[in-house]
Amino acid sequence: MSTPRSDRRQTDTAQRVRDMATQLFFTHGYSATSVRQIMQACHVTGGSFYNHFDSKEDLLYAILMGSLNDSVASLHHALATADDDATSQLRALVRTISTFHSERQLEGLVSQTEWRHLPAERAADVLEQQKRIRRLFESCLQRGIEDGDFTLAAAGVDPDITAKSILDLCINAGKWFRPEGRLDSAALARQHVELVTQMVGARREERDDR
């Protein structure tokens, strides 16, 4: 199942511009990509572009916040539909973030790098959403330690470092994942779930990894 988009009500043109700009920002970088290049790649006029976005900065902000908002929503949904124990919740979080970044890999990678081109106030919005994602993992890990489900603390491993490592594992897979490759997004997510389960020393039980 594909990951949700918060911009479903936006026009096809606006979505096409966002998708093409994401590709160009990933390939060439934000600074090296002009509005004219984006318009030419999308076959839209200046009037059509500026009907949806005030500027290139506005477009970048829309791409980043749209992706991050969708990621946060997906993670909250995963938590709400998983069993209540920490192991099940962590597995659901990992499965969801892995699937998100394999199905929408360019958005995820652009979000990790190009936010630096935004002015301070908008960059802060992006960083806060990234922190919200990390805090979901940190909270789950801390709960698992307190409940005795995870053994990472006994080995001297910090939940904060673990959360960052899990996110690095799943997000950076977008750099090499290929939909036409040996593993599809669901299979890759299963690999990540099992890796993380062992990483934190979680109890092993049969789970419904939908």
pLDDT tens column, 104-113: 988 988 988 8
- Nearest residue to 99 (alpha-carbon basis) of 205, 192, 175: 192
- The answer to whether the CB of 112 falls within 8 A of the CB of 133 is no
Supply the CATH number for residue 151's domain. 1.10.357.10
Taking each helix axis from N to C end, the angle separating 86-103 and 105-113, rounded to the nearest 10 degrees, works out to: 90
What value does the mean pLDDT take over residues 94-99?
A: 96
What value does the mean pLDDT take over residues 46-58?
A: 94
Question: Do 34 and 69 belong to one domain?
Answer: no
102 in any annotated domain: yes
Question: Do 47 and 68 belong to one domain?
Answer: no
Kindly provide the b/e burial profile for residues 99-112, where b requires at least 16 CB atoms within 10 angstroms of the residue's own CB: bbbbbbbbbbbbbb
Q: What gap in Å lies between CA 55 and CA 63, rounded to an integer?
A: 13
Confidence of residue 93 (pLDDT cuts 50, 70, 90): very high
Give me the domain span that covers residue 43.
9-53
Task: Please state the pTM of the whole predicted model.
Answer: 0.86
Per-residue pLDDT at 205: 56
Question: Do 37 and 77 belong to one domain?
Answer: no
Taking each helix axis from N to C end, the angle separating 159-172 and 185-199, rounded to the nearest 10 degrees, works out to: 160
E-assigned strand segments in 67-204? none
Q: Whole-number mean pLDDT of the chain?
A: 89
Question: Do 40 and 100 belong to one domain?
Answer: no
- The answer to whether the CB of 21 falls within 8 A of the CB of 59 is yes
pLDDT of residue 197 exceeding 80, the answer is yes
* Number of domains comprising the chain: 2
pLDDT of residue 1 exceeding 80, the answer is no
pLDDT of residue 8 exceeding 50, the answer is no
- Nearest residue to 106 (alpha-carbon basis) of 50, 24, 34: 24
Confidence of residue 128 (pLDDT cuts 50, 70, 90): very high
Per-residue pLDDT at 198: 93
Q: What gap in Å lies between CA 43 and CA 125, rounded to an integer?
A: 31
33 in any annotated domain: yes
Kindly provide the b/e burial profile for residues 123-146, where b requires at least 16 CB atoms within 10 angstroms of the residue's own CB: eeebeebbeebeebbbbbbbbbbe
Provide the Cα torsion 117, 169, 78, 193; round to 10°: 170
Q: What gap in Å lies between CA 176 and CA 17, rounded to an integer?
A: 24
